[in-house]
Structure 1
Amino acid sequence: MSVAAPLSRPSVVVVGGGIAGLTAARDLLIAAPGTQVVVLDASDRVGGKVRREEIGGHLVDVGAEAMLAVRPEAVDLVGDLADHSDVVTPTTTSARVWSRGDLHPLPRGRMGVPFADSVVAGLLDADEEVRMRTEAPAPSPGDDVSVGDYVSARLGPAVVDRLVEPLLGGVYAGHARLLSLRATMPAVWAIARTQGSLLAPPAVDPQAGAARPPFIGLVGGVGRLSELLAADVEERGGVVETGTIVRGIERTPTGWSVLSGPTTQPRRLEADAVVVAVPPPVASRLLAPIAPAAGVALGEVEMASVAVVTLAVPSAQVGSWEGSGFLVPPVDGRGIKASTFSSAKWGWLAAEGGDTAYLRASVGRAGESATLQRDDADLVSLAVREIAEAVGVPPLTVLDSHVQRWGGGLPQYTVGHVDRIARVTRAVAEVPGLEVAGAAYQGIGIPAVIASGHAAAEATTTHLRAVAAHAGE
């Protein structure tokens, strides 16, 4: 076995080159410029589920394509890395729901839970709407409860099936009757704990001024964020290495040893600290020997596989379409769960594409494997057929297409998730120089993932300072 010489102190190995790992690496290099930071990622490129591919002659997002802007992490990071003119907002965010054979405007509400003044006719039949507006008394949510069980008890099952499910399916690729209310809908959880009305809209502060746009993007695609992050890490002296599988992490008398590479040519990197920023199944395996309770808890986090089908079509065929796309309730039995009219949503893409417009459809929810077992050509045909059927147009002409499969790509925040992650946090805190980050901890959106990277870097920096102080005694 080849053993690399120990990195000069202070030193950190970041396992995982997604947004969380790259954010942690960048923060470490900013907080302590002399730190030697090595990022190891098993994929052919960094970024995790934030990626671009060339389709129809243009680079297009095939993973996340927008970032929540109502919290600051993504806004601040993009502001640091990208030119101000490259930060854009959607041209339209007017989404609809394809249900009962028609496209209906998405009602105002909280993650599909409508407000009292929301228009739900058509999505719900008359009896279902009466049941919704006859809000039942609040049952106790206990320590946690599924979204579906709680909302159904308050507003009726149709609200879950027709409104909540498509929203949760789009964000988490999960099922409302399995996902945690506490973890996935904190605003509704707070109402449940105070036994308030789910239908009551939030109070509006007249002094708050104009609200910031809910989403932002980047000219060229959100996939640029990972590229900009990796470049910034390297410019600050960090090392970003792809195609490297980490097979084990061990404690040593002086810190940590990270084992990577193939079994025929293993390599060890010595470090003062390690940040594990990989999906729960991999993190569970790596942490099991050094933080067993964390390994067990992460092993309980289920993962959902999804696919994103991107279509390049003639702009003339879609130029009159309304809105930014539509969601699909699983109760309607369709193959796709959502579609985004990407060129309508993002002005930069419409301008860059010219006579070519882009659409995308997402497929797959937790526990559903049949649809994803289809080959790429079948998934493209499915997307083309159902998008056209939803909008009510003839079959589309496909100029180019791409299918991106994200196997085990989304952690499921099932009932008990908050307590599960608290067990991970406690176990990791007992191991000096070890931190975790990623989509399993503070939320699966890009801002939450960035926040987890910030937190891991801050804790790691504190540890490195303690190590340096001890060495100087």
Structure 2
Amino acid sequence: MLSAALSTRPRVVVVGGGIAGLSGALAVLEALPSARVTILEGSTDLGGKLRLDAVGGHLVDVGAESMLAVRTEATDLVARVGAEGELVTPATTSASIWSRGSLRPMPAATLMGVPTDPASALGVLTAAEVDRLRDEQPWPGGAVESDVCVGDYVGARLGSAVVDRLVEPLLGGVYAGHASRLSLQATMPVLWERATRSESLLTPRTGATASDVGGANASALAQPARPPRPPFAGLRGGVGRLPGLVADELHARGALVRTGAMVRALERTASGWRLTLGSAADPQVIDADAVLLCVPPAPAARLLAPHAPVAARVLGDIETASSAVVTLAVERRDLAQVPGSGFLVPPIEGRAIKASTFSFRKWAWTGEVSDVVVHLRASLGRAREEAVLHRDDADLVAVSVAEVGEALGRPLPRVVDAHVQRWGGGLPQYAVGHVDAVASVRADVARLPGLEVAGAAYDGVGIPAVIASATRAARAALTHLSTIPSTR
């Protein structure tokens, strides 16, 4: 819980109504109940990539459907809005990889796909590939001193097959990215720390940490062998309920939440900041003592450009990946024996889908919503390989149905309903040098009193990491507000 002792009624504007903006606004009001907080969301809906929709007559998640629970920011937020009793854990966390034409069990203990027990990878890897994994090689030159891409580092030490068949599908699930472009330091901090000390990548760890899995879209596919608690959590009725729960709490605390309120410009004033909304012909202005920019990198860059050119340039250079989630409601028959919670698909397999989640198996509440249908999902789209997303919705449904059935070895039962949720530019790509890039953004923004940034572009794309970035921004804003004389 943040704290502040101010006698003013400061005006705080939060730009962005995703989970970053909503949780940041709540953190401000929890610490400073007298604050006048306004949340401005440019689209018609709150929640960003957390969303529910009706499929087969029942509301289910069509965006992120789980939260990393070994890191507490998300579950704590659920408790703060009075819904702790709605938290649920997966009914099963076993998962598979669709490799060489068959579903093969995911090794039980991995760090973002890197097995801690080489023998457990047999099946996904051939015997020769497991032997190469065991024969861990040193990184040329010894300890790593500057960031490298995941694929180069892990491939050199453990073999290319580990990258192609284990690491790539995990990175595709979390970031919709590729090991050849993603930062080891930013996406695999545990392995990065080992790399800087020239340590083995195969050392077992006890318990998952927030560093092990970073993504809103990751299923329970990277868990320790015996976790002290379930590594993932959900909400009964769907994680997509969380934005509404937070918004209800904000309304109860007096916040103003506006949708369809696109911020076109941000200006400094003598006492703070001025935001311009609406059309050029009919502009609206809102003055603020502090502003939290909780929007994706491109709009953040646009608003920051006149004030923080370094931050704007760095944010403008962050690539984003688009993806789609196809949710299917199929007849319940003949699906009792599906293996575990779902499967991942390595890019090397050349399939259209990159993963499938058997939602009715993974979450008990989902399996109980209907006696007639069950729900499952497929996801598609990776950075720079988004041609599949140019297909129309019917084609995406058809390829998802065909490939999930092929993976299972039998056609899916009749599809009663289907839903396609497209996430254009939804996942920032943490390229090599991302940690230093984010530091330069924050250093440039720090020159602007009362302005803070937060969201998935900074310290992690998972729900807890995004909430943490928003809490950090709220704390900094409160520190700034504490310096404002009591004149209002």
TM-score bracket relative to the smaller structure: over 0.9
1:241-280 CA deviation, whole Å, 9 max, x = no partner? 0011110100011111001112222100011111100000
- Give the match for residue 383 of structure 1: 400
Q: Secondary structure at the match of 1:468?
A: coil
User: Structure 1 CA distance, aligned partners of 2:118 and 2:153?
Assistant: 21
Gaps of 5+ in 2: 1-7, 209-225
Match of 1:290 among 288, 307, 311: 307
Shift of 1:84: 3.3
Letter in 2 for 1:83: A
Letter in 2 for 1:85: G
User: Structure 1 CA distance, aligned partners of 2:280 and 2:167?
Assistant: 47
- Give the match for residue 305 of structure 1: 322
Match of 1:182 among 177, 180, 185: 185
Give yes or no for the alignment of 1:10 onto 2:27: no
- Give the match for residue 221 of structure 2: none
Q: Secondary structure at the match of 1:38?
A: strand
Q: Secondary structure at the match of 1:326?
A: strand
- Give the match for residue 385 of structure 2: 368
Letter in 2 for 1:134: D
Give yes or no for the alignment of 1:199 onto 2:202: yes
- Give the match for residue 373 of structure 2: 356
User: Structure 2 CA distance, aligned partners of 1:339 and 1:384?
Assistant: 10
- Give the match for residue 50 of structure 2: 50
Alpha carbons 1:384, 1:396 under 8 Å: kept: no
Q: Secondary structure at the match of 1:250?
A: strand
- Give the match for residue 465 of structure 1: 482
Q: Secondary structure at the match of 1:234?
A: helix
Alpha carbons 2:298, 2:315 under 8 Å: kept: yes
Deviating more after overlay: 361-370 vs 140-149: 140-149
Alpha carbons 1:53, 1:62 under 8 Å: kept: yes
- Give the match for residue 119 of structure 1: 120
Give yes or no for the alignment of 1:257 onto 2:271: no
Shift of 1:370: 1.0
Alpha carbons 1:13, 1:275 under 8 Å: kept: yes
Shift of 1:161: 0.3
Give the TM-score normalised by the residue count of structure 2: 0.92
Match of 2:254 among 237, 241, 244: 237
Give yes or no for the alignment of 1:166 onto 2:172: no
Alpha carbons 1:276, 1:435 under 8 Å: kept: yes
Alpha carbons 1:109, 1:118 under 8 Å: kept: no
- Give the match for residue 128 of structure 1: 129
Give the TM-score normalised by the residue count of structure 1: 0.95
Question: Structure 1's 464 and 118: CA in aligned 2 closer, same or farther, altered over 3 A?
Answer: farther
Match of 2:159 among 145, 151, 156: 156
Match of 2:230 among 213, 216, 221: 213
User: Structure 2 CA distance, aligned partners of 1:265 and 1:464?
Assistant: 31
1:94-151 CA deviation, whole Å, 9 max, x = no partner? 1100010011111121100111354222222222221111111133433100000000
Question: Structure 1's 338 and 82: CA in aligned 2 closer, same or farther, altered over 3 A?
Answer: farther
Give yes or no for the alignment of 1:445 onto 2:462: yes
Shift of 1:468: 3.1
Give yes or no for the alignment of 1:91 onto 2:94: no
User: Structure 2 CA distance, aligned partners of 1:465 and 1:415?
Assistant: 37
1:443-473 CA deviation, whole Å, 9 max, x = no partner? 000000000111111111111111136x59x
Shift of 1:300: 1.3
- Give the match for residue 69 of structure 1: 69
Alpha carbons 2:15, 2:41 under 8 Å: kept: yes
Alpha carbons 1:308, 1:363 under 8 Å: kept: yes
1:40-93 CA deviation, whole Å, 9 max, x = no partner? 001111100011111111111111000000111011111122433311000001
1:376-435 CA deviation, whole Å, 9 max, x = no partner? 000000100000000111243110000000000000001000000000010111110000
Alpha carbons 1:336, 1:383 under 8 Å: kept: yes
Q: How does 1:396-407 map to 2 (within 5 A)?
A: 396-407=413-424
User: Structure 2 CA distance, aligned partners of 1:11 and 1:316?
Assistant: 56
Q: Secondary structure at the match of 1:467?
A: coil
- Give the match for residue 328 of structure 1: 345
User: Structure 2 CA distance, aligned partners of 1:92 and 1:210?
Assistant: 13
- Give the match for residue 4 of structure 1: none
Letter in 1 for 2:88: V
Letter in 1 for 2:177: G
- Give the match for residue 473 of structure 2: 456
Alpha carbons 1:9, 1:272 under 8 Å: kept: no
- Give the match for residue 222 of structure 1: 239
User: Structure 2 CA distance, aligned partners of 1:181 and 1:333?
Assistant: 25
User: Structure 2 CA distance, aligned partners of 1:20 and 1:426?
Assistant: 20
- Give the match for residue 5 of structure 1: none
Q: Secondary structure at the match of 1:75?
A: helix
Alpha carbons 1:61, 1:222 under 8 Å: kept: yes
Alpha carbons 2:144, 2:197 under 8 Å: kept: no
Letter in 1 for 2:253: R
Shift of 1:354: 2.5
Alpha carbons 2:346, 2:354 under 8 Å: kept: yes
Q: Secondary structure at the match of 1:362?
A: strand
**How many residue pairs get matched?**
461
- Give the match for residue 106 of structure 2: 106
User: Structure 2 CA distance, aligned partners of 1:148 and 1:217?
Assistant: 31
Deviating more after overlay: 215-224 vs 352-361: 352-361
Letter in 1 for 2:21: G
Question: Structure 1's 90 and 375: CA in aligned 2 closer, same or farther, altered over 3 A?
Answer: same
Deviating more after overlay: 210-219 vs 383-392: 210-219
Deviating more after overlay: 294-303 vs 323-332: 294-303
Runs of 4+ in 1 over 4 A off after TM superposition: none
Gaps of 5+ in 1: 1-7
- Give the match for residue 3 of structure 1: none
